[in-house]
Structure 1
Amino acid sequence: MSEQHLRPSPISATVDFTADGVQHGFLRLPYSRDDSAWGSVMIPITVVKSGEGPTALLTGGNHGDEYEGPIALFDLARTLAPAEVRGRVIIVPAMNYPAFQAGTRTSPIDKGNLNRSFPGRPDGTVTEKIADYFQRVLLPLADIVLDFHSGGKTLDFLPFCAAHLLPDKRQEARAFELVKAFGSPYSIKMLEIDAVGMYDTAAEEMGKIFITTELGGGGSATAKSVAIAKRGVSNVLRHAGIINGEIEPRPTNWLEMQDADCFAFAEEPGLVEFLVDLGEAVQRGSAIARIYPTGRTGAEPFEVHARMNGILIARHHPGLIKAGDCCAVLATRV
């Protein structure tokens, strides 16, 4: 272990992870700033424990403009009782709390993207300190990890739960069992193309059973997408044997994302017109979208083409797009 990782985390928890019962508290991170010399970032956390059993670590707000997870987890934190639990549930509805408060993907303090900051540093930026605490304290406590995501302000997704294709096929199979239990309308077997620094990668490298979601987008949440999140987290806890009750089954469509051809990026900026909607089929070489130059009228639009056959599972959300932005994401049916 490196010298910097031998240093203690500056974050202290106001909850006892070993105590039975329900505790609502904070992860307190000292943060000296202009308006508070001895200030803190106070990240809400709930621990519900009853006896021996597996531990589920449930997280949202890894990116601060994604809301289905925080809604489902703030609700679960206020309603889950120790009498319902066998084992332990650790709930952090808004991991990157500064970003969550600001309604932004990255932290307004240091512009840190928490999901690209692992393993973090105890002596780093605020975002790196949060990542370090999860890496060294919370993830080792967990048996299963559910991290909620959605499209935020810049993407819109078909609602899906996903796990990654992994070298350890036993670990992979257990993750896909949880994906099936979650019961989202779509379920995806995903090969991550940019896994460096991710929370997902940190958990999986520890041997944890990790699943994630994309449940909509546009910087908001709907009654339908929140219902998927609430039902899904309960199903996962039931499947893990942490809470009693039958899984509420839902049909799901299995998809795969196996390489970089799933992604289509804008090469020019402008006004985007999508030619297909979410869930519709596309053929390799067909146009997914047109991007109109906005500096003058009469200019021909730039077309974004599919590099594979599949269905559209995600699209750029705002009407204006920049060069290099992800325009569309495709997946294939299993």
Structure 2
Amino acid sequence: MSAVETRPSPITATVDFTADGVQHGHLRLPYSRDDSAWGSVIIPLTVVKNGEGPTALLTGGNHGDEYEGPIALFDLARSLKQHDISGRVIIVPAMNYPAFSAGTRTSPIDKGNLNRSFPGAPDGTVTQKIADYFQRVLLPIADVVLDFHSGGKTLDFLPFCAAHLVHNKVQEARSFDLVKAFGAPWSVKMLEIDAVGMYDTAAEEMGKVFITTELGGGGTATALSASIAKRGVRNVLLAAGILKSGTVEVRDTKWLDMSDSTCFHFASEAGLVEPLVDLGASVRRGETIASIFPIGQTGVPPAEVRAQQDGILIARHFPSIVKPGDCIAVLAFEL
């Protein structure tokens, strides 16, 4: 272990993670800035503990412009009681609180993308310090990790719950069991195109049962997407043996495989996107799924984005103006 890794985290918790009961508190990170020399970044959290049992770590706001997770978790934090559970539930509705409060994907303080900052550093940027605390304090005490995501301001998704293919097949199977229990309309076996530094990767490398979601997008939530998140988190707690009463609300889910790089389609040019198929539509390999019109002049034919495989359109770029390299569409195989 390096000298940096042995340094204590500068973050302190106002809760006792080992104490029974319901505690509403904060993680406090000292942050000296122009308007507050001895200021802090304050991250709300709730801990509910009742005796021995598994620990669920429930997180939202990893990216600050994704709202289904925070809605579900702020709601759960106010309603979950000690007698409801066996074990422990740690609820952090807005992991990257600076980004969440600003409504941005990354932190306005250091432009840090929390979901690309693991394992973090106790003497790094604000975002790296938050990642380090989760890496060294919260993830090690968790058995089950649910991290909510949606498309934010730049993507829109079919509402799905997902887990990754990992080397440990027992761990993988337990994760997909919880994906099924979550009960989203769609369930996905997922490939990340940029897994380095991810919270997901940090949890999975520790052997944790890890699941995530993409529940919509456009930088907002809907009644439907919020209800999927609220029902799903309770289903997961039931399936994990932590929530004592109730039954998993079984919903039909359609399974998809997103474990091939040909699922992702990128813009090669800047311009105005015309979507030619909508989310949930079936497409065939070679079919044009979007056109990109150059906007600097008229009379120029659009560039075509063609499907690299047969599949279902599960994600699309949300703003209509794109730059080269922007992800335009994501397809998944039907299982």
TM-score (norm 1): 0.99
- Cα distance in 1 for residues equivalent to 2:193 and 2:101: 29
Q: Match of 1:127?
A: 127
Q: Secondary structure at the match of 1:72?
A: helix
The 1-side partners of 2:78 and 2:213 are apart by: 22
How far off is 1:141 after superposition?
0.8
SS at match of 1:64: coil
- Which of structure 1's runs of 4+ aligned residues deviate more than 3 A? none
Q: Counterpart of 2:317? A: 316
Q: 1:193 touches 1:259 (CA, 8 Å); kept in 2? A: no
Q: Number of paired residues?
A: 334
1:291 corresponds in structure 2 to 292
Structure 1 residue 193, shift from structure 2 partner: 2.4
The aligned residue for residue 301 of structure 2 is 300
1:3 aligns with 2:9: no
3-state SS of 1:71 partner = helix
Q: CA separation in 1, counterparts of 2:333 and 2:97?
A: 35
**CA distance, structure 2, for counterparts of residue 312 and residue 45 of structure 1:** 36
Identical amino acids, percent of aligned pairs: 77
Code of the residue aligned with 1:94 in structure 2: it is A
1:3: how far off? 1.3
List per-residue Cα deviations over 1:83-108 (Å, max 9, x = no partner).
10100000000000000000000000
Over residues 126-154 of structure 1, what are the superposed CA-to-partner deviations in whole Å (9 max), with x where a residue is unaligned? Answer: 00000000000000010000000000000
Other-structure match for 1:63: 63
Aligned counterpart, 1:220 = 220
Q: Contact (CA 8 Å) 1:77, 1:91: kept in 2 or not?
A: yes
Task: Write the mapping of 1:35-114 to structure 2, written as runs, cut at 5 A.
Answer: 35-114=35-114
Which aligned pairs between 1:149-168 and structure 2 lie closer than 5 A?
149-168=149-168
Q: Per-residue displacement from partner, 1:168-191 (whole Å, max 9, x unpaired)?
A: 111000000000000000000112
Shift of 1:306: 1.0
Query: Structure 2 length as normaliser, TM-score?
Result: 0.99
Shift of 1:305: 1.0
Q: What is residue 326 of structure 2 aligned with on the other side?
A: 325
Q: Name the CA distance, whole Å, in 2 between partners of 1:167 and 1:112.
A: 29
The equivalent of 1:200 in structure 2 is 200
Structure 2: which amino acid aligns with 1:92? V
Aligned counterpart, 2:277? 276
The two structures, once aligned, show a CA RMSD in angstroms of 0.5
Q: For 2:119 and 2:22, how far apart are their aligned partners in 1?
A: 29
Q: Tell me how far apart the structure 1 counterparts of residues 163 and 207 of structure 2 sit (CA, whole Å).
A: 13
Matched, 1:178 2:173: no
- In structure 1, list runs of 5 or more residues that go unmatched: none
**C-alpha separation between the residues in 1 aligned to 2:129 and 2:141?**
18
Q: Give the match's secondary structure for 1:56.
A: strand
Alignment pair present for 1:32 and 2:26: no
Q: Which amino acid aligns with 2:75?
A: D
Give the Å deviation of 1:284.
1.1
Distance 2:215 2:329 in 1: 16
Listed one character per residue, the Cα deviations across residues 240-282 of structure 1 (whole Å, up to 9, x for unaligned) are 1111211011000000011110000001111100000000011
